[in-house]
Amino acid sequence: MSGTVSLLPERATAKAGCTEPAVIRERGQHEVFCGLTGIVWMHRKIQDAFFLVVGSRTCAHLMQSAAGVMIFAEPRFGTAVMEERDLAGMADANEELDKVVSRLLERRPDIKLLFLVGSCPSEVIKLDLSRAASRLSAQYSPDVRVLNYTGSGIETTFTEGEDRCLASLVPELPQSRSKAPELLVVGALADVVEDQFARLFGAMGLGKVAFLPPRRSRDLPAVGPNTKMLLAQPFLAETARMLGERGATHIPAPFPLGAEGTTAWLKAAADAFGVDPMTFRSATASAEARARRALEPFRETLAGRRIFFMPDSQLEIPLARMLSRELGMEPVEIGTPFIHKAHLSEELALLPEGVTLSEGQDVDRQLDRVRAASPDLTVCGLGLANPLEAEGLTTKWSIELLFTPIQGYDQASDLAGLFARPFDRRTRLRV
């Protein structure tokens, strides 16, 4: 998708140490999925929610292709297709939407939370979805809550869809009356990963831990001045801002990728709640040791390999930290759509000395740097992977890192395997 007119990149002056690496800031044409794609993992997480995309047939085809819609299971997302007569103002868009929602809720009485997801700005689809959501929520309350957010590629990048979705939930969260500090883990995690973290927190003595999003919409966590939030994903800027306005305080931490990152993430929560260091080590030591052992076989394949991250998922900085420190890979350039320093300060301090960061994208310039560097592995979106493979470069699809459980101790080897697999594939093709 196209961005603004290409500009010359601005290079920031690097300060001493690795906490402030050199940054190439680019604002030009970029290649990234739009925020609609977040529905693919979000609809699996909130089990009584439905995501209704209000958009074109192109958007419907994108969701079908990206999600690989299952034949034997009815997914909890769909598209209210905007026809030409709707866009031309020949039909009452609100009336048409009301009909679609009515049919949907009659057919699917299990839906308790309905998200109206805009695929384009309101000016394009001629429909104010925020007003429509408010009207429909009043109509179907208390059985169904109707919310809205934008997944427009003009307004959001790949993982910002999850951020916008969770941000739309924040005003609905009940007010916490607790006098004691409470932990809120923010960011969609696979159920198995969430269960693992809940057990680890419990072993530390943190019995009351809430997760956003919850598995059921009726279980929205309370938030207030005594809430401490621990981000599980680095791309939740708007959600964190809105939670902060509700009184929650952010716990700075690396993200739970790899053995080291998971321990640091858990330790940040433990320190914030005054957990005894011996209790913390007792709760985490065996799982951390198991994760480190599981990573060892992958070092043979990955150590010394040079890796180039193109901006896509906003996971790039935590991934580069994990791959360099735990598996011996050498980041050539770490591209990411945005650098939220408040959320990434702990990660930036752990990056290798002298590494180059790039924020935003001018895809032609970045492709020139990829070709000049000739890295062993390039992490990029689907639209760039095949052309780079045709040029002889080995690539890794960044989208797979969102569809696969990769957080936590027990998933550390799965994460390493995702980066080792392209080399195995390349070896097999050459035989």
User: Annotated binding site: which residue ranges?
Assistant: 34, 59, 120
Which residues have CB under 8 Å from 293's CB, separation 6+? none
Strands annotated E in 345-413: 356-361, 377-380, 395-397
Q: How far apart are CA 80 and CA 53, in angstroms?
A: 6
Q: In terms of C-beta density within 10 A (0-12 exposed, 13-18 middle, 19 or more buried), how is residue 99 classed?
A: exposed
Crossing angle of helices 316-327 and 258-272, in 10° steps, is: 110
Q: Which residues have a Cβ under 8 Å from the Cβ of 19 and sit 6 or more positions away?
A: 345, 348, 349
What stretch of H or E contains 297? helix 277-302
β-pair type (10-11, 22-27):
antiparallel
> Which residues are known binding-site members for [4Fe-4S] cluster?
34, 59, 120
Is-contact 183 206, C-beta < 8 A? yes
Residue 104's H or E segment, with its range, is helix 93-107
Match 């994108």 to its residue by tokens.
62
φ, ψ for residue 30, nearest 5 deg: -135, 155
From CA 31, how far away is CA 290, in angstroms rounded? 38
Between CA 395 and CA 419 the distance in angstroms is 9
36 conformational bin, left if phi > 0, alpha if psi -120 to 50, beta if neither: alpha
End-to-end CA distance of the chain: 37
Alpha-carbon span 64 to 86, nearest angstrom: 22
In angstroms, the Cα distances linking 61 to 32, 71, 81, 383 are 17, 16, 11, 16
Amino acid at 358: S
